[in-house]
Amino acid sequence: MESMQDKIVNFYLNYQVPLLTLSLIGLYAYIWWAYENFKSILQIVKALLSPYFLPNENKSLSEKYGKWAVITGSTDGIGKQYAIGLAKQGLNVVLISRTESKLKEVANEIESMYSVKTKYIAADFGSGKEIYEEIKQKLQMLDIGILVNNVGRMYDFPDDLDNVPEDLLWQIININVGAVTMMSRMVIPQMKVNRRGIIVNISSGSECQPTPLMTVYASTKAYVRNFSLALNKELEEHNVQVQLVTPLFVQTKMNNFSTYVMKGNILMPDVESYTKFAVFTLGKSSQTTGYWSHGLQYGAMRLCPEFIRTIISLSMNRGFREEYYAQQKILNNNNNSDIVAKISN
């Protein structure tokens, strides 16, 4: 006859041990899920606290990486604010963008504010392969420690793939994929020799899921994500870092199709506020949303399965498209009224 002690042991082995194992597996999965989806917030907290616990790591960016920083897409928005933020920390900056007049204006603005050197290179990244040799020649004598791959091209407004002009699609691919790849490849050899340097790649929250009506743009940002995380591991042994920055909605001209986004709120910061946080994380984390409220949004988004996020993206972009059409209708009506008024006069 089975004793009470044997019954207890058998019950524990038959039920409690499997339940405990499942609980441990669930705890393990939850911890890693929480880390993956909220690590941007954790890394911002780490960056804030590191000067108190790791004072030896609290060096200036020029001490850590070198005297020169290169920023692409640097005449507007996030790129311009990165250039200003890095100059504020004492780095000389090379501005690369398409329009020479804007480059001169930003260079003069930076030099009037800070005691740093500036250089600029006018280059249209949308034109493809031929621009890179000239850029390489102009950069080869500089001690480049930081590269910010910010230049990007988005749809003019969310739309179906077959409605997007072919030339625009090539621009998006050449700029969003080509520039981040070839500019990184250009600076890596010197960084390896110097055993220091950091490449900052600006991605987008659209990397997180398939994004209908911004299909090509979102796909290029998924490339930027995988490229950055893989390259960071590839360069680790050379003491060269790659930081992936994943902003969500920021008030920049890239989002001009939506008056709602451009009005801004705590979840959609102005470009100065966003970039101030993003520059602060430079060298302190390998992957970040760049802004505290974006970190919370990113984690909340990832609570949903991918197919739900895709449906939400489609619905949101349909709303943005309708908003854009409404804006254009108002503008067209205003223009027609102006023409009628001129004819009447």
- Give the pLDDT confidence score for residue 147 in this predicted structure: 98
* Entry field: residues in the chain: 345
Closest CA to 118 of 99, 97, 103, 135: 103
Distance CA 282, CA 139 (A): 22
> How many whole angstroms from its chain centre is CA 329?
32
Distance CA 112, CA 89 (A): 15
User: Looking at the DSSP assignment, which residues form a beta bridge with residue 147?
Assistant: 70, 199
Could you tell me the two tokens for 67? 């005297």
Where the chain has pLDDT below 70, the residues are 1-20, 22, 30, 33, 37, 39-41, 43-44, 47-48, 50-58, 336-345
Q: Please, which residues have CB within 8 angstroms of residue 326's CB and are 6 or more apart in sequence?
A: none
- Give the pLDDT confidence score for residue 5 in this predicted structure: 62
SS3 98: coil
Give residue-wise pLDDT tens across range 188-242.
999 999 999 999 999 999 999 999 999 999 999 999 999 999 999 999 999 999 9
Distance CA 171, CA 175 (A): 6
Distance CA 301, CA 40 (A): 13
Cβ atoms of 90 and 116 within 8 Å: the answer is yes
217 is a catalytic site residue: yes
- Give the pLDDT confidence score for residue 223 in this predicted structure: 98
Q: Which domains does the chain have, with CATH numbers?
A: 47-301 (3.40.50.720)
Closest CA to 70 of 176, 179, 175: 179
- Give the pLDDT confidence score for residue 113 in this predicted structure: 96
- Give the pLDDT confidence score for residue 15 in this predicted structure: 53
- Give the pLDDT confidence score for residue 56 in this predicted structure: 53
Alpha-carbon torsion, ordered 320, 321, 327, 328, to 10 deg? 160
Alpha-carbon torsion, ordered 171, 176, 179, 184, to 10 deg? -170
Q: Which is catalytic among the residues 65, 217, 291, 298?
A: 217
- Give the pLDDT confidence score for residue 246 in this predicted structure: 96
- Give the pLDDT confidence score for residue 57 in this predicted structure: 60
Cβ atoms of 92 and 269 within 8 Å: the answer is no
pTM of the model: 0.85
- Give the pLDDT confidence score for residue 100 in this predicted structure: 96
Q: In what order do the strands lie in the sheet with 118-122?
A: 118-122, 92-97, 68-72, 144-149, 198-202, 241-245, 287-288
Cβ atoms of 70 and 96 within 8 Å: the answer is yes
- Give the pLDDT confidence score for residue 301 in this predicted structure: 87
- Give the pLDDT confidence score for residue 9 in this predicted structure: 52
- Give the pLDDT confidence score for residue 331 in this predicted structure: 84
- Give the pLDDT confidence score for residue 171 in this predicted structure: 97
Distance CA 213, CA 321 (A): 9
- Which segments of 61-217 are extended strands (E)? 68-72, 92-97, 118-122, 144-149, 198-202
Run of H or E including 243: strand 241-245
Distance CA 342, CA 123 (A): 40
Closest CA to 317 of 212, 206, 194, 209: 212
